[in-house]
Chains A and B, each alone.
Chain A
């Protein structure tokens, strides 16, 4: 990309931000299935609005539609930061209904897999068109160097969106925050347990700093 195109784009982005100051930023919660995205979205929403965003489950692809919680007002150091939280379905490149047949009958498993594929496509569309920043949630007990994570972080970077990486599930014995920091050293990693509510003060400090 040439210098002038780059400068024009930078000015355009700055102008867009200036004139959209009153609108709450839409922050997409992204990540692979079962990373704890909805648990995090519910934790944030309950802490600041009293309501939940959606149902949580240990079965992958519980969230199959993107859901937006509007006007979440987070107070930090006497200031209020207002964001919309967009809880998105877990992104994957493959869905096999037989993964769900231990938990439900075949008909429900097929329906779940079909809805899951629609949800992934929806999540990708939101990422390309409709979010102003990204919280990327990873299960810190799992290997973070997967193709889905590499691709999604690359897509976020290519769109110049501000991104925070949340190393979730620090309450698990196998949790390793360092493994995530080493995998994506170009981004800030914040450890937390959304389920237990651990380290949420640092989570909110960073949300206010990055997306306020």
Chain B
């Protein structure tokens, strides 16, 4: 599988790299492979956009691994945004049989905490300000 290139070479243009990662690319990856890919990108100063986001369990592990990698003056952690759920999830047995619990895919934006700031978020819009380091 080809890797996203990094724009941190000395002759690279002065800008912010954005990696848009498809659900298809994430589908075959183990949890730690996904987390490593996200955090490697964020450590490089990239904004990572996941077409289908992470499962709740993967999100909890992402928080845990992020905390382990925070280092004073080097890495302050991540900013992460997804849309909030707009309506109550159907948690009845019938709803689960019909697959109501499985449609959790949600676009997710992740970036270095010191470079991305959420300006506005509601059920249908995420507005963020991205700055160069």
Binding site for B on A (CB under 8 A): 1, 3, 6, 10, 91-97, 110, 113-114, 117-118, 120-121, 124-125, 127-128, 145, 147, 150-151, 154-155, 157-159, 183, 185-186
B63 → chain A, closest Cβ, in Å? 5
| Residue ID in chain A nearest B54 by CB atoms | A151
Interface string of B93-133 (1 = CB under 8 A from A): 10011000110000000000110001001100000000000
Number of interface residues of B (CB under 8 A): 35
Question: Does the CB pair B78–A94 fall under 8 Å?
Answer: yes
- Once A95-B76, A117-B68 are accepted as A-B contacts, the answer to whether A157 and B102 lie under 8 Å apart by CB is no
Residues of B near A110 (CB, < 8 A) are 72
**Interface status of B22 (Cβ within 8 A of chain A):** no
CB distance from B102 to the nearest CB of A (A): 7
Contacts of A151 in B (CB 8 A): 56, 59-60, 63, 80, 82
Interface segment among B3-11, B13-21, B23-31, B84-92: the answer is B84-92
Residues of B within 8 A of A159 (CB): 56
Are B70 and A157 touching (Cβ within 8 A)?
A: no
Residue of B nearest to A111 (CB): B72
Residues of B within 8 A of A128 (CB): 57, 60
Q: B88, A93: Cβ atoms under 8 Å?
A: no
- A93 and B63 form a contact (CB under 8 A): yes
**In contact, A147 and B67 (Cβ under 8 angstroms):** no
Instruction: Provide the residues of chain B in CB contact with A120, threshold 8 Å.
Output: 63-64, 67
Question: Are B57 and A155 interface neighbours, CB within 8 A?
Answer: yes
List chain B residues, Cβ under 8 A from A95. Answer: 67, 70, 76-77
Given contacts A150-B85, A151-B59, A157-B91, 7 further A-B contacts (CB under 8 A): A93-B78, A93-B80, A95-B70, A97-B72, A117-B67, A118-B67, A150-B84
Q: Give CA–CA (A94, B64) in the complex, Å.
A: 11
Shortest CB distance A93–B (Å): 5
> Given known contacts A6-B96, A93-B113, A95-B67, is B101 in contact with A1 (CB within 8 Å)?
yes
CB of B70 within 8 A of CB of A1, answer no
Q: Which of A3, A10, A121, A186 has the most CB of B within 10 A?
A: A121
Mark contacts of B44-83 with chain A using CB atoms, 8 A cut-off: 1 yes-contact digit, 0 otherwise: 0000000000011101110110111010100011111110
Whether B68 contacts A121 by the Cβ 8 Å rule is yes
Q: Say whether A145 contacts B67, CB under 8 Å.
A: no
Do B84 and A92 touch (CB < 8 A)? no
CA distance A150 to B89 in the complex (A): 13
Q: Chain A residues near B114 (CB, 8 Å)?
A: 96
- Tell me which residues across on chain B come within 8 A of A158, comparing CB atoms: 55-57
Report how far A128 CA is from B56 CA in the complex, Å.
10
Q: Is the CB of B64 within 8 A of A124?
A: yes
Contact for A91 among B63, B78, B84, B85, CB less than 8 A: B63
B-side contacts of A93, CB under 8 Å: 63, 66, 77-80, 113
Say yes or no: A154-B81 contact (C-beta < 8 A), given A91-B63, A95-B76, A110-B72: no
Are B63 and A124 in contact (CB-based, < 8 A)? yes
| A151 and B82 alpha carbons, distance in the complex (Å) | 9
Cα–Cα distance between A117 and B67 once the two chains are bound (Å): 5
